[in-house]
A and B are shown apart, each in its own frame.
Chain A
Amino acid sequence: MKLKVNQQDRSYEGDPQMPLMWYLRDELGLTGTKFGCGTGLCGACTVHVDGKAARACVTPMADLSGKSVTTIEGLSADGNHPVQKAWRSANVPQCGYCQPGQIMNAAALIAANKNPSDAQILEGMQGNICRCGCYQRIFAAIKTAAKEA
Chain B
Amino acid sequence: MSFSKYKDQPLIKNVSRRDILKGIVSGGGFVVAAQFLPRMAVADGGSVNQYKTGADGMPGGVVWNPQVFVSIAKDGTVTIVSHRSEMGTGSRTSLPMVVADEMEADWSKVKIVQAEGDEPKYGNQDTDGSRSVRHFIQPMRWCGAATRNMLEQAGAVYFTCSNMEVRAENHKVVHVPSGKSVGYGELADIAATMKVPSLKQIALKDPKDFRYMGKGNVQLYDMRDITMGTATYAQDVHVDGMKFAVVARPPVLGGKAVKWDEAAAMKVPGVIKVIPINGTPMPAKFAPLGGVAVVANSTWAALKGREALKVQWDDGPNKVYDSVKFKAAMAEQARRPGKIERNEGDFEAAVKTADKVIEREYYVPHGSHATMEPPAAVAKVAGGKAEVWACVQSPGGTRGDVASTLGIPEKDVRVNVTLLGGGFGRKSKCDFALEAALLSKAMGGTPIKVVWTREDDIQHAFYHSVSYQHVTAAIDKNKKVIAWRQRSVSPSLMSNFMPDPKRESALELGLGLIDTPFNVPNLRLETGEAVAHTRIGWFRSVNNIPHAFAMQSMIGELAAELGKDPKDFLLEMIGPGRIVDPRKTVTSELWNYGDPFETYPIDTARMRAVVERVAKEAGWGKKLPKGEGMGIAVQRSFQTYVASVVHVKVDGKGNVEVPRVDSCIDCGFHINPERIHSQIEGAAVMGLSIAKLTQITFKDGRVQQSNFHDYPVLRIGQGAMDVRTYIMPHPPEVPAAGVGEPGVPPFAPAFCNAIFAATGKRIRELPLGDQLSA
Contacts and interface: CB of A to CB of B under 8 A. Distances in A.
Given A41-B707, A95-B88, A133-B682, A33 B371 contact: no
A130 B721 CA distance: 13
Contact of A134 (B86, B454, B681): B681
Contacts of B682: 94, 132-134
A40 B235 CA distance: 18
Nearest to B222: A96
A26 B224 CA distance: 23
Given A41-B707, A42-B708, A131-B686, A34 B244 contact: no
Contacts of A31: 229, 232, 235-236, 238
14 contacts: A27-B1, A32-B230, A88-B224, A88-B227, A95-B87, A96-B419, A96-B421, A97-B371, A97-B372, A100-B226, A100-B227, A123-B717, A132-B682, A137-B678
Nearest to B11: A31
Contacts of A56: none
Interface stretch (B2-10, B17-25, B146-154, B345-353): B2-10
B208 interface: no
Interface of A: 15, 18-19, 22, 25-39, 41-42, 44, 71-73, 79, 84, 87-88, 91, 93-100, 103, 122-123, 125-139
A96 B88 contact: yes
Contacts of A32: 228-230
Contacts of B6: 29
A136 B720 CA distance: 8
Given A95-B420, A136-B721, A79 B454 contact: no
Interface in B193-247: 219-220, 222-224, 226-233, 235-236, 238, 244
B374 interface: yes
- Which of A72, A84, A95, A99: most chain B Cβ within 10 A? A95
B715 A94 contact: no
A7 to B, nearest CB: 16
B370 interface: yes
Per CB-CB distance, the 6 closest pairs between chain A and chain B, nearest first, are A32-B229, A133-B685, A97-B421, A95-B88, A72-B229, A122-B717
Contact of B373 (A79, A95, A126, A137): A95
Contacts of B422: 95, 97, 131-132
Given A26-B300, A88-B219, A73 B686 contact: no
A93 B220 contact: yes
A91 B713 CA distance: 22
Contacts of A37: 454, 707-708
Nearest to B223: A88
- Which of A31, A41, A71, A125: most chain B Cβ within 10 A? A31
Interface of B: 1-3, 5-6, 86-90, 219-220, 222-224, 226-233, 235-236, 238, 244, 269, 298-300, 369-374, 419-424, 451, 453-455, 674, 678-679, 681-686, 707-709, 713-717, 720-723
Contacts of A36: 372-374, 454
A97 B708 CA distance: 16
Given A96-B421, A130-B372, A73 B716 contact: no
Nearest to A125: B716
Given A41-B707, A137-B678, A35 B235 contact: yes
A34 to B, nearest CB: 7
A130 B227 CA distance: 14
A148 to B, nearest CB: 15
Nearest to A23: B300
Contacts of A15: 269, 300
B373 A103 contact: no
A8 to B, nearest CB: 11
Contacts of A79: 224, 227-228
Nearest to B233: A97
Contact of B228 (A19, A72, A138): A72
A135 B717 contact: yes
A125 B356 CA distance: 51
A139 B371 contact: no
A138 to B, nearest CB: 6
B715 A126 contact: yes
A96 B231 contact: yes
A112 to B, nearest CB: 17
Contacts of A34: 233, 235-236, 372-373, 421
Contacts of A71: 229
Contacts of B723: 136
Contacts of B88: 93-96, 132
B562 to A, nearest CB: 35
Contact of A42 (B238, B372, B717): B372
Nearest to B455: A38
A125 B715 CA distance: 8
Contacts of B90: 94
Nearest to B421: A97
Given A91-B674, A96-B231, A133 B299 contact: no
A132 B713 CA distance: 11
Nearest to B709: A41
A108 B157 CA distance: 59
Contacts of B228: 32, 72-73, 79, 84
A79 B226 CA distance: 10
Given A71-B229, A131-B686, A133-B681, 19 more contacts: A22-B298, A22-B300, A26-B298, A31-B236, A34-B372, A35-B299, A93-B222, A93-B227, A95-B87, A95-B372, A96-B421, A122-B716, A131-B713, A133-B683, A133-B685, A134-B678, A135-B716, A135-B721, A136-B681
Contacts of B300: 15, 18-19, 22, 26
- Which of A37, A91, A123, A133: most chain B Cβ within 10 A? A133
Nearest to A31: B236
A112 B707 CA distance: 30
A94 B88 CA distance: 4
A56 to B, nearest CB: 12
Nearest to A118: B717
Contact of B229 (A73, A88, A137): A73
B224 A94 contact: no
Contacts of A126: 715-717
A135 B685 CA distance: 8
A78 B224 CA distance: 10
A68 B294 CA distance: 33
B716 A26 contact: no
A137 B681 contact: yes
B681 A93 contact: no
A118 to B, nearest CB: 9
A106 B222 CA distance: 20
Contacts of A30: 229
Contacts of B244: 26
B722 A136 contact: yes
B451 A35 contact: yes
A130 to B, nearest CB: 7
A93 B227 CA distance: 8
A127 B715 CA distance: 8
Contacts of A93: 88, 220, 222-223, 226-227
A28 B390 CA distance: 21
B247 to A, nearest CB: 15
B271 to A, nearest CB: 12
A96 B223 CA distance: 8
Nearest to B297: A26
B414 to A, nearest CB: 22
Nearest to B715: A126
- Which of B2, B269, B373, B424: most chain A Cβ within 10 A? B373
A39 B229 contact: no
A18 B715 CA distance: 28
- Which of B5, B227, B419, B421: most chain A Cβ within 10 A? B227
Contact of A94 (B89, B374, B708, B722): B89
